[in-house]
Amino acid sequence: MRKWPKWLRFVLYAAGAAVVLGVGALIFVNVYIGRSAPVTEGELRVPVLQSEVTVVRDGKGVPHIRAESDADLYRAQGFVQAQDRLFQMDLARRQASGRLAEVVGEAAVPSDKLFRTFSLRHAAEQSHEGYGEEAKQVLSWFAEGVNAYIVEAKEEGQLPYEFSLLGYEPEEWTPLDSLTIGKFMAYDLGGHWQALAFRHWAVNNFDGEKMEELFIHYPEDAPSIIEANRANPVQVAGAFDASLIPPEFNGSNNWVVSGDKTASGMPLLADDPHLGLTTPSIWYEMHLESPEQNVAGVIFGGIPGIILGHNEDIAWGVTNVGPDVQDLYIEQPNPDDPTQFLYDGEWEQADVRDEPIRVKDGETVDFRVVTTRRGPVISDLMLEDTGAGAVLSMQWTALEPTRELEAVLTYNKASDWEEFEEALENFNAPAQNFVFAAKDGTIAYKANGNIPIRKKGDGQLPVPGDSPEYGWAGYIPYDELPRAVNPEEGFVATANNQVIGEDYPYHITEFWAQPYRYERIAEVLREGDDLTPEDMMALQMDVKNLYAREFLDDMIGSLKATGAAEEYASAVRMLEDWNLEDDKDLGAPLIFHRWIQQLPRTMLRPSMPGDVYDLMPGKNHITDEMMRQAYAGNPGAWVSGYGGVDAWITDSFKRAVMSIADAYGDDADNWKWGDYHQLVFPHPVGGASPILERYLNPPRTPVSGSHVTVQAAGFNYDGTTDHGASWRFVADLSDLSRTWHIVGPGQSGHVKSDWFHDQADDWVKGDYHETRIDGTAEGDELKLVP
Distance in angstroms (rounded) separating the CA atoms of residues 773 and 285: 12
CB atoms within 10 A of CB 25: 21
Are 2 and 667 spatial neighbours (Cβ–Cβ below 8 Å)? Answer: no
Instruction: Determine the length of the chain.
Output: 786
Nearest to 76 by CA among 56, 98, 92: 56
Alpha-carbon 707 to chain mean position: 13
Element (H, E) at 274: strand 268-276
- Which of 36, 97, 164, 252 is labelled catalytic? 252
Residue 336 counted as an annotated binding residue: no
DSSP for residue 581? B
DSSP for residue 523? H
Element (H, E) at 720: strand 720-725
Residue 84 counted as an annotated binding residue: no
Distance in angstroms (rounded) separating the CA atoms of residues 518 and 200: 31
Cβ-based neighbours of 65, under 8 Å, separated by 6 or more: 53, 54, 55, 73, 76, 77, 80, 286, 287, 288, 289
Element (H, E) at 298: strand 293-300
Element (H, E) at 153: helix 133-156
558 is catalytic: no
Cβ-based neighbours of 223, under 8 Å, separated by 6 or more: none
Amino acid at 139: L
Q: What burial class does residue 718 get, using C-beta atoms within 10 Å of its C-beta: 0-12 exposed, 13-18 middle, 19+ buried?
A: exposed
Distance in angstroms (rounded) separating the CA atoms of residues 610 and 490: 47
Cβ-based neighbours of 647, under 8 Å, separated by 6 or more: 562
* CA torsion, ordered 437, 443, 447, 448, to nearest 10 deg: -50
Cβ-based neighbours of 683, under 8 Å, separated by 6 or more: 278, 279, 280, 692, 696, 697
In 413-529, DSSP assigns E strands to 432-438, 443-448, 452-454, 463-464, 472-475, 483-485, 491-494
Q: Which residue numbers are catalytic?
A: 252
Which residues fall in the annotated binding site for Ca(2+)?
Answer: 324, 327
